[in-house]
């Protein structure tokens, strides 16, 4: 939102510098993104009078001009403009002046043997116009009102500053000059001079408008006013063009400019339709009853003011006349019914639409206008009819308008809405203010007190509130243009604090301050990430929004792009992309993991936090051990890396083979269990994905349910370290080697050995796997190391012989196997 300081000064007293005001506005919530000094481009440019013009002897195109700029001696300036002549008033750039538009610094120079002491400028060279033919000649009537040598900034009304404000969504009042002026009045505590309506016009409440219920909801309104005896050829006065130009809006003609002026001044968008064009469009004389607001049909289109022909659909809300589209509601008008030089009568539209419908329409056509940005933030319908009346007031200064009638869909509700404001609540939320004397130093004792009733009421009155005294405090009535953001008691308290100054209040920290700490689950999750990291994994972060691939994904209601229109239901697909990217970049390995949420559509919408990861290739730091080996890891090597990373949680995770995970190898994948519950999976990528080039190399994927892992690892018996006495007697170890059918899982075999070993069997470990064709394709050799120990005495070989033979016998019977020779 750009606004001129001169315009603001017509509405509010400003008794501070532009820089200071910018700081106060920024602290108050209206951030000033830039402050532009309008006179900067014309510094050093003064009013001059050409006393004489003589042709240059050495040039056919140059003239030697003697120019009076009010100094003791006239200047001699060489000028090449065709329109330079004697006794005209011009803009003169004196020596040392820098012209930003042409990036030229004026110096005393010699042109073909004749000295030149300045430059006579065109408006293009001053940066005021895009193109100019010849130098600028100042109207004699204007020039005679000023002394020669007067700054061009004064003649061009450029002694002004432009504030470019960033208006947040919760302060729609900042989208109007009146709203900004009211804010400045509150911040500076100066007098406000809001323009009052000179004439109030007759209002006709017409209940039969055909209005879309989505667009015109509660606290919305549609009005249309017939205004005759106007002239589209009438140009806007200088003051109006100046204010529009400094706000970044191009002047078109008086009729359009007034609608834009009200948009800026009041924050209320208006639109003018050409009455005769509307009549031609519908084939008869148009009436206010012909206007309607509806959803567009899929087969409709509209040529708009920007020259674009938009194809409409049901997501777009339009203004229709006799059911024919004439504008996209709240966004942009139609070119076919636009005001031009031939306009003699108009229909002036003033409305408040549901912000949601405007946002949808704007998004559908890809256009955001000054009008739509205000509707999207939300404006009060109680200001609409006054804004229409204000526009007609200005029109009546230029045209003799016969008794206009404002036709509106809604009768304004003037019932006061009061917000109770409790004195006790203000003191509790804000606390006391700190009084610092002029002689205050760090050792001085601070004086503290709560806000007085006078301070509270004065600050709220500055933003236009009316207060009724009550026993508990006040009942506060809010002005319409603040009704969008001042809704609750706490909103009023925030305004009081903002206007008093947050730095004025005492620090009120909890006493004593209790230090926070991590829960067991949070510590376990950090340990899990640390375990993966120290074992060579890199943590990644992928986007949780994905394109729509199937009906199992949860769609979001307002996607920015089709590529980010749904919530992901897995992470492994993104991790494959990361691995592929690294493979294409020539990386020998890629070990990654991510902790994040996935989202399930069935049976009900839900989200689940998981640890997902991928393993490709051998870590380069280990390759010195076997640099000539195949870079691909075996299933057991990859699974071992995950096991090492998870050791930090002291969890026993059991693998059970599976062939039901469609994106994993049916013979090299397993589901992971702990405490009897499934907690995830591990496996090699399915060969078909490599054949179809979806995956470029052999990759191992794993996934763990965070909630299940953390719950199991933080149980009291595992989370709290229990210290045991170190054994004082040696253990005895025996190795056994069996040939098993491959259908048996190692974990089942180990479990059976533990059951059979009773108390003396301390530990069982798989130490070797051997696969050979001599065993047959269905068989494989496993070697286990059994550790025996009696904590009270040293075992003899005879004491474990019977137990060891018993274990071998049980295994042979249970798994139909035999000891390997």
What does 83-127 look like in DSSP terms, one character per residue? T--TT-EEEEE-TT-EETTTTEE---EEETTEEE--EEPPTTTTT
- Going by pLDDT thresholds of 50, 70 and 90, the confidence category of residue 440 is low
Distance CA 88, CA 77 (A): 14
- Going by pLDDT thresholds of 50, 70 and 90, the confidence category of residue 620 is low
210-211 and 291-295: which strand pairing? parallel
pLDDT digits (tens, 9 = 90+) for 211-262: 999 999 988 999 999 999 999 999 999 899 999 999 999 999 999 999 999 9
Say what the pLDDT of residue 819 is. 86
Mean pLDDT of the chain: 90
Q: Are 700 and 690 in contact (CB under 8 A)?
A: no
Task: Give every CB contact of residue 605 below 8 A, 6+ residues apart in sequence.
Answer: 554, 599
Rounded to two decimals, the pTM is 0.66
Q: Are 426 and 453 in contact (CB under 8 A)?
A: no
Encoded tokens for 765 = 């470990």
pLDDT digits (tens, 9 = 90+) for 79-124: 999 999 999 999 999 999 999 888 899 999 999 889 999 999 999 8
Q: Other C-beta atoms within 10 Å of 477: how many?
A: 15
Distance CA 674, CA 763 (A): 19
Say what the pLDDT of residue 651 is. 87
Looking at the predicted structure, is the pLDDT value of residue 331 above 70? yes
Secondary structure of the chain: what % helix, strand, coil (to 5)? Answer: 30, 30, 40
Encoded tokens for 773 = 């064709």
The alpha carbon of residue 799 and the mean position of all alpha carbons in its chain are separated, in whole angstroms, by: 75
Does 199 or 492 have the greater pLDDT score?
Answer: 492
The conformational region for residue 8 under phi > 0 = left, psi -120 to 50 = alpha, else beta, is: alpha
What is the b/e burial string over 66-102, where b = at least 16 CB atoms within 10 angstroms of the residue's CB?
bbbbeeeebbebbbebeebeeebbbbbbbeebebebe
Say what the pLDDT of residue 388 is. 95
- Going by pLDDT thresholds of 50, 70 and 90, the confidence category of residue 625 is low
Block residue for tokens 């301390």: 762
pLDDT digits (tens, 9 = 90+) for 359-387: 999 999 999 999 999 999 889 998 999 99
Distance CA 352, CA 211 (A): 12
Say what the pLDDT of residue 510 is. 64
Say what the pLDDT of residue 457 is. 94
Encoded tokens for 695 = 């995956």
């Amino acid at each position: 939102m750009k606004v001129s300081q001169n315009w603001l000064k017509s509405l509010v007293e400003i008794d501070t510098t532009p820089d200071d005001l910018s700081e106060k506005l920024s602290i108050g919530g209206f951030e000033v993104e830039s402050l532009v000094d309008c006179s900067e481009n014309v510094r050093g440019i003064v009013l001059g009078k050409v006393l004489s013009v003589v042709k240059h002897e050495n040039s056919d195109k140059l003239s030697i001009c003697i120019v009076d700029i009010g100094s003791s001696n006239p200047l001699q300036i060489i000028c090449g403009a065709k329109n330079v002549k004697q006794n005209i008033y011009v803009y003169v750039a004196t020596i040392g002046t820098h012209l930003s538009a042409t990036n030229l610094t004026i110096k005393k120079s010699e042109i073909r043997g004749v000295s030149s002491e300045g430059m006579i400028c065109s408006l293009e060279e001053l940066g005021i116009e895009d193109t100019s033919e010849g130098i600028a000649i100042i109207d004699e009537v204007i020039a005679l009102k000023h002394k020669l040598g007067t700054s061009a900034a004064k003649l061009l009304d450029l002694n002004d500053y432009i504030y470019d404000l960033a208006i947040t969504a919760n302060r729609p009042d900042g989208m109007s000059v009146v709203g900004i002026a009211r804010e400045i009045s509150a911040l500076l505590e100066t007098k406000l001079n809001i323009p009052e309506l000179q004439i109030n016009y007759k209002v006709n409440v017409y209940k039969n408008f055909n209005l879309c219920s989505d667009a015109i909801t509660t606290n919305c309104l549609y009005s249309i006013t017939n205004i005759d005896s106007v002239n589209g050829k009438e140009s806007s006065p200088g003051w109006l063009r100046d204010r529009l130009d400094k706000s970044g809006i191009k002047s078109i003609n008086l009729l359009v400019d007034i609608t834009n002026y009200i948009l800026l001044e009041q924050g209320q968008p208006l639109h003018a339709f050409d009455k005769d064009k509307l009549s031609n469009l519908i084939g008869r004389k148009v009436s206010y009853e012909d206007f309607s607001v509806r959803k567009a049909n899929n087969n409709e289109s509209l040529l708009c003011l920007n020259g674009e022909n938009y194809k409409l659909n049901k997501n777009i809300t339009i203004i229709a006349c006799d059911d024919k589209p004439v504008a996209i509601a709240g966004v942009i008008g139609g070119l076919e019914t636009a005001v031009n030089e031939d306009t003699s009568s108009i229909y002036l539209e003033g409305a408040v639409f549901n912000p949601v419908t405007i946002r949808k329409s704007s998004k559908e056509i890809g256009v955001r206008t000054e009008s739509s940005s205000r509707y999207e933030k939300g404006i009060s319908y109680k200001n609409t009819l006054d804004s229409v009346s204000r526009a007609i007031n200005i029109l009546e200064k230029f045209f003799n308008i016969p008794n206009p009638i404002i036709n509106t869909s809604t009768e304004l509700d003037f019932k006061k809405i009061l917000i109770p404001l409790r004195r006790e609540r203000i003191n509790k939320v804000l606390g006391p203010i700190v009084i610092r004397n002029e002689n205050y130093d760090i050792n001085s004792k601070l004086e503290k007190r709560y806000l007085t009733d006078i301070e509270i009421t004065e600050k709220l009155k500055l933003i236009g509130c009316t207060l009724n005294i009550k026993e508990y405090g006040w009942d506060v009535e809010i002005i319409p243009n603040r009704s969008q953001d001042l809704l609750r008691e706490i909103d009023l308290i925030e305004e009081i604090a903002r206007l008093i100054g947050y730095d004025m209040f005492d620090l009120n920290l909890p006493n004593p301050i209790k230090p926070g700490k991590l829960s067991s689950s949070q510590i376990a999750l950090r340990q899990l990430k640390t375990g993966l990291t120290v074992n060579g994994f890199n943590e990644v972060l992928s986007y949780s929004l994905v394109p729509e691939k199937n009906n199992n994904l949860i769609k979001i209601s307002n996607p920015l792009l089709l590529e980010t229109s749904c919530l992901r239901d897995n992470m492994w697909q993104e991790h494959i992309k990361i691995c592929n990217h690294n493979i294409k970049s020539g990386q020998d390995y890629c070990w990654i993991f991510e902790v994040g949420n996935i989202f399930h559509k069935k049976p009900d919408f839900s989200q689940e936090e998981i640890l997902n990861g991928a393993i490709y290739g051998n870590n380069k730091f280990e390759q010195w051990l076997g640099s000539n080996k195949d870079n691909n890891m075996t299933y057991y090597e990859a699974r071992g890396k995950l096991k090492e990373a998870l050791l930090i949680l002291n969890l026993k995770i059991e693998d059970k083979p599976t062939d039901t995970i469609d994106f994993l190898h049916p013979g090299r994948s397993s589901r992971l269990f702990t405490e009897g519950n499934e907690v995830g999976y591990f496996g090699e990528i399915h060969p078909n994905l490599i054949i179809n080039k979806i995956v470029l190399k052999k990759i191992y994927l794993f996934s763990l349910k965070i909630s299940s892992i953390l719950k199991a690892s933080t149980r009291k018996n595992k989370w709290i370290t229990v210290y045991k006495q170190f054994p004082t007697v040696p253990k005895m170890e025996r190795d056994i080697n069996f040939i098993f059918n491959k259908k048996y899982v190692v974990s089942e075999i180990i479990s059976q050995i533990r059951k059979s070993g009773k108390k003396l069997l301390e530990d069982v470990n798989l130490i070797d796997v051997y696969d050979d064709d001599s065993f047959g394709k269905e068989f494989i050799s496993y070697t286990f190391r059994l550790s025996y120990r009696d904590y009270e005495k040293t075992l003899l070989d005879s004491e474990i012989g019977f137990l060891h033979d018993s274990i071998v016998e049980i295994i042979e019977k249970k798994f139909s196997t035999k000891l390997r020779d």
